[in-house]
Chain A
Amino acid sequence: MSQVLVSIYRYNPEQDSKPRMQSLAVDVPGDRDLMVLDVLELAKAKDPSITYRRSCREGVCGSDGMNINGVNGLACITPLTKAAGPARKLVLRPLPGLPVIRDLVVDLSQFYEQFEKIRPWLINDEPPPPAERLQSPDERAKLDGLYECILCACCTTSCPSFWWNPDKFVGPAGLLQSYRFLADSRDAATAERLAELDDPFSVFRCRGIMNCVSVCPKGLNPTRAIGKIRNMLVERGT
């Protein structure tokens, strides 16, 4: 066994006047690496009032996105050794830029509102064919790197443009999904989708700092998708 010092953001808006950091020494097995979520579970065993979201514990559901030692990530697939380093100290905070409901649980309403804004569904008023709308392998390949997004919000909450304008800037996750439908050969609403994005905030508040790319737990590249939307807007608007 070895010990890890875990510092956890604690805040219950109904009771606390301001947030505080709680430090806990957690014993972890010395013979294998744990994930940050495992350490959090051990911490919760010591103090059951610690609150966080988690579900699949294998990087699929996107529930346990949090700020781990200053970097957004999914606790369930972030190894302790990678996050804590040789100092063996873990600092866990909620995803930045969103209202805190309690401890590590944030209110994702603004994130979902931006996601809804881009109309994340296939729009096609043509009568559907008897079986299904077919795509060629090349057309289908255009969706790779886009459809895999699990909406964990790690990228959007690491983006300063979203922190400053959460009501106007769609954010990297929403824009990745927007391009997913713009690139889909079965979607027939390209012009309307682009028209909805051609304002000074929705897409163009992205300054290309690529925080989103560096934190995406699925290895996706929202900045590239945003660049492609911009290129489509240039082609359409000039």
Chain B
Amino acid sequence: MVTNATSLGRSGLFDWLVQRFSALVLLAWIAWVGTGVIAAAEFGYPQWRALFAAAPMQIFSLIAMLSLCAHAWVGVWTVTTDYLNEAHLGKAGTAVRLLTQTACLLLTLSCLIWGARIFWGNG
């Protein structure tokens, strides 16, 4: 069996399920937010703020952000292992792939923490 240390769950099935499940979560989140916007008789900043102030929305939004990060990591990992390898880049392939994966991971985690601060912060 082919092994890999940098995939999300180190199992093809796990990553595949995470990608599908996270896509469904994101679809539901978009539908929920979209419905909230469309259903409001009048919609502006106060209504937008009120929509995200409710605890269920904050919980759902955090789950959606985690889903987005997991979904993005599975996708980025797939793309980097397809194209950033020794077959395409020669001996530098592994170093370029690991550096790119590290940069993407740091960016993803930063976005996650930043998003959590926005959703859960008091500002």
A-side interface residues toward B, CB under 8 Å? 161, 164-165, 168, 195-205, 230, 233-234, 237-238
Contacts and interface: CB of A to CB of B under 8 A. Distances in A.
A229 to B, nearest CB: 10
Q: For chain B, give the interface size range.
A: 20 to 34
Describe A's contact surface by its main secondary structure.
Answer: loop
B36 interface: no
Contact of B2 (A195, A202, A238): A202
B83 interface: yes
B114 interface: no
Contacts, number: 54
B2 A164 contact: no
Contacts of A196: 1
Interface of B: 1-4, 7, 10-17, 77-78, 81-83, 85, 87
A164 B3 CA distance: 17
A161 B85 CA distance: 13
A202 B16 CA distance: 13
A238 B4 contact: no
A233 B77 CA distance: 21
B4 A234 contact: no
Contact of A198 (B4, B13, B83, B85): B13
Nearest to B9: A200
A203 B15 CA distance: 12
Nearest to B81: A165
A146 B82 CA distance: 28
A47 to B, nearest CB: 33
Given A164-B87, A234-B17, A199 B82 contact: no
A204 B13 contact: yes
A234 B13 contact: yes
Contact of B3 (A199, A204, A205): A199
B83 A202 contact: no
A238 B12 CA distance: 13
B22 to A, nearest CB: 15
Nearest to B77: A200
A201 B16 contact: no
